[in-house]
Amino acid sequence: MKTGIKRKKKLDKFTLKEYGINAVLMAIIFLFGLYFSWELSNFAGMLYLLLWVASYFVIHATTCRNCVYHGKQCPVPLEGGCSHLTFERGNNFGLIAGVGGLLAFFLRLCIPYVAIIKAGSMMYFVLYSGIVILFFYVLLYHTGCPNCINTKCPMNPDFNAPSQS
Ligand code: SF4
């Protein structure tokens, strides 16, 4: 099945050169989110930090442990490369992996969006949404998926291809 994403390389392990831009964009998302949440209240700021930590357990448990990058650096910092520290390898990269990934990003983004809506700032909304969209665009079409070897993922250029390392 063709995903529309063009294959670049097949990386067994990502290096800082390939995932560095994702790390920078993720750090910007995190810091903007922290700022917006703390602007709402100290409680929201603390909850935001707790949900970020929880999001890694969620994505490790559902997605990363079942991915070929379990225990190896993947395109996203602290995910595949740290998943072996929390959960043992699984072998079921299916619907639950996708749901877990979505849930992890919901946990990371929900408090900032509540804060932005409460602040009523269109500028914050556009700025934050723009960075989030840019992160996913770069990950899916440039740095991550085009180089990924997890052929069980629907975003992989070789989705459902027979070879899987
Ligand atoms: S194809 Fe993309 S979304 Fe899927 S596991 Fe690989 S990098 Fe992640």
How sure is the predictor about 165, in pLDDT bands with cuts at 50, 70 and 90? very low
Q: What pLDDT does 99 receive?
A: 97
User: Could you read off the pLDDT of 63-88 as tens digits, one per residue?
Assistant: 999 999 999 999 999 999 999 999 99
d(CA 51, CA 141): 27
Span of 1-5, 17-21, 137-141 with lowest mean pLDDT? 1-5
Nearest one of 77, 104, 80, 97 to 18, comparing CA atoms: 77
Residues 6+ apart with CB under 8 A from 71: 80, 81, 83, 84, 89
User: Token pair for residue 63?
Assistant: 């997605």
How many angstroms is it from 150 CA to the middle of ligand 1? 6
User: Token pair for residue 48?
Assistant: 């935001």
Residues with CB under 6 A from ligand 1: 67, 75, 144-145, 148, 150, 153, 155-156
User: Could you read off the pLDDT of 23-59 as tens digits, one per residue?
Assistant: 999 999 999 999 999 999 999 999 999 999 999 999 9
How sure is the predictor about 3, in pLDDT bands with cuts at 50, 70 and 90? confident
How many angstroms is it from 118 CA to the middle of ligand 1? 34
Q: Per-residue pLDDT averaged across 133-151, rounded?
A: 97
Sign (positive or negative) of CA dihedral 138, 141, 144, 147? negative
Q: What pLDDT does 1 receive?
A: 59
How many angstroms is it from 100 CA to the middle of ligand 1? 13
Indicate which atom in ligand 1 lies nearest the CA of residue 140.
Answer: 2
How many angstroms is it from 108 CA to the middle of ligand 1? 18
